[in-house]
Amino acid sequence: MVTFFQQVVNGLQLGLVYALIALGYTMVYGIVKLINFAHGDVFMVGAFMGYIGYTFIKLPWPVALVMALLTCAVIGVINERLVYRPLRYAAKISALISAIGASFFIEYFTSLNFVFTPNYISFTPPIKEITWIVGGVRITDIQVVILVTVAAFLALLQLLIFRTKLGLAMRTVSFDHDAARLMGVDVDKTISFTFFVGSGLAGIGGVLFGFAYPQIWTFMGVMTGLKAFIAAVLGGIGILPGAVLGALIMGQVEILTSAYISSQARDAIAFAILIIVLLIRPSGILGRNEPEKI
């Protein structure tokens, strides 16, 4: 039984990291109906920035975290401006291809020797590892840090979206761009801001990921980003609590499948469960089944 709780804790750690990335995906999708393929790579840049911050510049880790946040936020905005804005009112699929191109670009560009490196980098995280044993279950301080950070940013995000004018603008734009313009909302700035926040979250996710799994690589964003994206869809794409819910579920499913069904077929079973959920609730768990307008 204790082992079960341990596995739940393991799944929680994984799920929380996915949550930070999934939030960014869902925010961007909500406002511009685009699957930001490059989001996973922004996460990767965050992990690298954090690493550079606390290993080379010897910053205390919260400062490195902020540095990563800001770098990724800026990259997200630049990405939007250069690659997505020209295609904003074109076919969705064209924007997706553009996003794929942006994703490849970030991956291969950072792999060049004069940027980051194509090798894996293993390092010691700046947080000294302390483990507490609560009722037989091992909990590390890093897990607590991740939990606190995710909870804090989720709360901040809720505050932003529902209590500020900017948040109101974001919600308006997500409904209809033209109507928002008529209401005096600067659509371009709002979208840029959304990317700023979403990418910043991914950056934080990257740094925290580096604490939990201290090995970074320029292609680490591919799978993790994909899983976070699936989590966002699972919970209902465009819905913030859905992203977190989906991410937590993904984390649990992955870990518990590996522990109790088969570690061999972990991914396959996790995806099979995903497909079954989608067949039952086609718009995601918290998704609204919007009737198609003719």
Partner 1 sequence: MNKTKQMVLALVGVAVLDLVLWILIRIGIIGPYWQIILNESMIYVIGGLGLSIIYGFTGQFSLGHAAFVGIGAYCAGWFAITFSHYGIWASLGSLVVGMVSAGLVGYLIGVPILRLKSDYLGIATLGFNFIVYDGMQNSDKLSSVLGGAQGMTGVPQFQTFEWYFVTAVIVFILVRNLVFSSHGRACTAIRENETAADVVGVSPARTKIMAFTVGCVLAGLGGALYAHNYPYVNPDSFSFLESINYLIIVVLGGLGSMTGTVITAVGWAFLLEVLRMFLSLLGPSFINLRGVLYALILVIVIILRPQGIFGGIEASFLVPHIGRRKSDAAAGS
Partner 2 sequence: MMKRTKWVALLLVVLFVFSVALAGCAPKTQSNVIKIGLIVPLTGNVATFGQSIQNAFNLAIKQAGGTVGGYTIQTVMADDQNTANQATAVATKLCTQDKVSAIVGSATSLTTIPISVVCEQYHVPFVTPTATNVRVTMDPNRKLYAFRACFIDPFQGLAGATFDYNNLHAKTAAVMFDETNAYSSGLKDNFVKAFTQLGGKIVAQMAYTTNDTDFSADLTQIAKLNPDVLYLPDYYQKVSLIGGQARNLGVKSTFMGGDGWDSSDLNFAVMNGGYFTNHYSADDPSPMVVKWVSDYKAAYGSVPDALATLGYDATLIVLQGIRSAQSTDPTKIRDAIQNLNGYQGVTAKFSFGPDGNPVNKPAVVLQINGPAKKYNFITEVAPS
Binding site for partner 2 (CB under 8 A): 3, 6-7, 10-11, 13-14, 111, 118-122, 124, 129, 131, 138, 140, 213-215, 217, 220, 222-224, 254-256, 258-259, 263-264, 266-267
Spatial separation of the C-alpha atoms in residues 31 and 174, rounded to whole Å: 4
Min CB(221)–partner 1 separation in Å: 13
Spatial separation of the C-alpha atoms in residues 143 and 10, rounded to whole Å: 9
| CB-side neighbour CA atoms (13 Å) of 58 | 0
- Binding site partner of 158, from partner 1, partner 2, none, Cβ cut-off 5-8 A by kind: none
Strand partners, 137: 134
Residues 64-103 that bind partner 1 (CB under 8 A): 83, 86-87, 90-91, 93-94, 96-98, 100-103
Burial (CB count <10 Å: 0-12, 13-18, 19+), residue 91: exposed
Window 173-192: contact mask with partner 1 (x via CB under 8 A): --------------------
Spatial separation of the C-alpha atoms in residues 188 and 140, rounded to whole Å: 42
Closest CB to partner 1 among residues 66, 222: 222
Window 32-71: contact mask with partner 1 (x via CB under 8 A): ---x------------------------------------
Q: Nearest Cα to 28, choosing from 281, 247, 201?
A: 201
Enter the tokens of residue 195: 């990317």
Spatial separation of the C-alpha atoms in residues 204 and 70, rounded to whole Å: 9
By CB under 8 A, name the binding residues for partner 1: 35, 83, 86-87, 90-91, 93-94, 96-98, 100-105, 107-109, 111-113, 118, 226, 230, 233, 237, 264-265, 267-268, 271-272, 274-275, 278-279, 282-284, 292, 294
